[in-house]
């Protein structure tokens, strides 16, 4: 179970979730697999995607309720020999026909992402082993990282788009400023509306890989989107490393080299750091 190669190519959270359950079902040779995601607002978990038990999608379980609720609460893997006779089964699954169940937590950087589950159904007499639980837990760790980063990318792109539209509306009747002031609260894609620049770019700091990742650009300049810059490398990498703005008069003559960029860090939730670069 090595999801990194395939999942690194995916940016859509829903595609990644489906890839995870498909891989789980194939690797453990089970008819049922699924993911419960942690709902921070409701303080519970809900079935977000399922293979072989699609009717469960949308079901919410309180912390401590059923197998997924207990795994989410304890953050420990759980093996159940027969869900139908297990005293802790949720009443919501009385007619599910589930038998052997294996569930493990999905945790990234200490944050609960959800619960990954594999199960047998019907007349199956299979029992999951501790070795299978260990392997699924390793897979769940990498899967949690992929889901986290995809969510972060999607949320940041959406926020950048919303800020860009807001800044465009605000700047429509405003004269262009004579100099570039980049307050930390301004997102990258709106940078050129606050600066006398021709281009604006936004990067996101990827905690796991210690790189900055270009995710947006203005003026139709999509070149380099998806490119990663090492932590401390170039303007974007240095802004992410120091969390301080940087202004460069001429990038071509700047010793660390990159292309005449100024950047300012944009700390966000999820304990990550965006950084914004405005290209002259």
- The residue behind tokens 């959800």 is 114
Q: What is the pLDDT of residue 98?
A: 96
- The Cα angle at residue 48 between residues 42 and 51, in degrees rounded to 5: 155
d(CA 83, CA 80): 6
Going across the sheet that includes 201-206, the strands are: 228-230, 211-217, 201-206, 272-279, 261-268
* Residue 96: CB atoms within 10 Å: 18
CA-CA-CA-CA torsion sign (146, 147, 148, 150): positive
* pTM, rounded to two decimals: 0.60
Give the N- to C-terminal CA distance of the chain in Å, as an integer.
45
d(CA 263, CA 56): 46
d(CA 2, CA 267): 31
pLDDT in tens, the chain (280 residues): 444 445 555 668 888 999 999 999 999 999 999 999 999 999 999 999 999 999 999 999 999 999 999 999 999 999 999 999 999 999 999 889 999 999 999 999 999 999 999 999 999 999 999 999 999 999 999 999 989 988 888 777 777 777 777 766 766 655 554 444 444 444 444 444 444 455 555 555 555 555 555 544 444 455 555 566 777 888 877 887 888 888 888 877 877 764 434 444 433 332 333 333 333 3
d(CA 151, CA 145): 10
> Do 194 and 185 touch, CB atoms closer than 8 A?
no
d(CA 39, CA 94): 23
> Do 47 and 34 touch, CB atoms closer than 8 A?
yes
Residue 224: CB partners within 8 Å, gap ≥ 6? 201, 214, 217
> Do 71 and 112 touch, CB atoms closer than 8 A?
no
Q: What is the pLDDT of residue 274?
A: 35
- Largest Cα–Cα separation, the chain: 75
Torsion of CA 194, 196, 202, 207, to 10 degrees: -80
Query: Candidates 3.40.50.800, 3.30.450.40, 3.30.70.2740, 3.40.190.10; correct CATH number of 175-279?
Result: 3.30.450.40
Query: Candidates 3.30.450.40, 1.10.3720.10, 3.30.70.3420, 3.40.50.1980; correct CATH number of 4-151?
Result: 3.30.450.40
Domain ranges of the chain: 4-151, 175-279
Q: 26-44: b or e for each residue (b if 16 or more CB lie within 10 Å)?
A: ebbebebbbbbbbeeeeeb
Three-class DSSP category at 94: coil
Q: What is the pLDDT of residue 18?
A: 92
Identical topology for domains 4-151 and 175-279:
yes
Residue 9: CB partners within 8 Å, gap ≥ 6? none
Residues written for the chain: 280
d(CA 247, CA 47): 47
Rounded to a whole number of angstroms, the CA Rg of the chain reads 23
């Amino acid at each position: 179970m090595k999801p990194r190669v395939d999942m690194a190519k995916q940016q859509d959270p829903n595609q990644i979730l489906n890839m995870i359950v498909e891989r789980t079902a194939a690797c453990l040779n089970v008819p049922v697999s699924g993911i419960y995601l942690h709902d921070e607002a409701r303080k519970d978990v809900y079935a977000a995607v399922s293979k072989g038990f699609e009717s469960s999608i949308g079901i919410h379980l309180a912390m401590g309720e059923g197998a997924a609720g207990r795994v989410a609460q304890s953050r420990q893997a759980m093996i159940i020999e027969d869900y139908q006779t297990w005293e802790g089964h949720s009443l919501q699954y009385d007619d599910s026909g589930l038998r052997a169940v294996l569930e493990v937590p999905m945790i990234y950087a200490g944050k609960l992402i959800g619960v990954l589950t594999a199960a047998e159904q019907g007349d199956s007499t299979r029992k999951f082993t501790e070795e299978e639980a260990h392997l699924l837990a390793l897979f769940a760790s990498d899967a949690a990282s992929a889901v986290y980063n995809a969510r972060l990318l999607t949320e940041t792109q959406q926020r950048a788009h919303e800020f860009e539209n807001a800044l465009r509306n605000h700047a429509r009747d405003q004269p262009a400023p004579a100099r570039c002031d980049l307050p930390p609260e301004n997102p990258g894609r709106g940078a050129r509306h606050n600066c006398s620049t021709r281009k604006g770019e936004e990067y996101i700091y990827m905690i796991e890989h210690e790189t900055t990742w270009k995710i947006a650009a203005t003026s139709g300049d999509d070149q380099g989107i998806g490119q990663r810059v090492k932590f401390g490398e170039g303007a974007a990498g240095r802004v992410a490393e120091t969390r301080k703005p940087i202004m460069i008069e001429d990038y071509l003559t700047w010793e660390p080299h990159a292309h005449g960029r100024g950047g300012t860090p944009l700390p966000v939730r999820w304990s990550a750091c965006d950084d914004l670069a405005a290209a002259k």
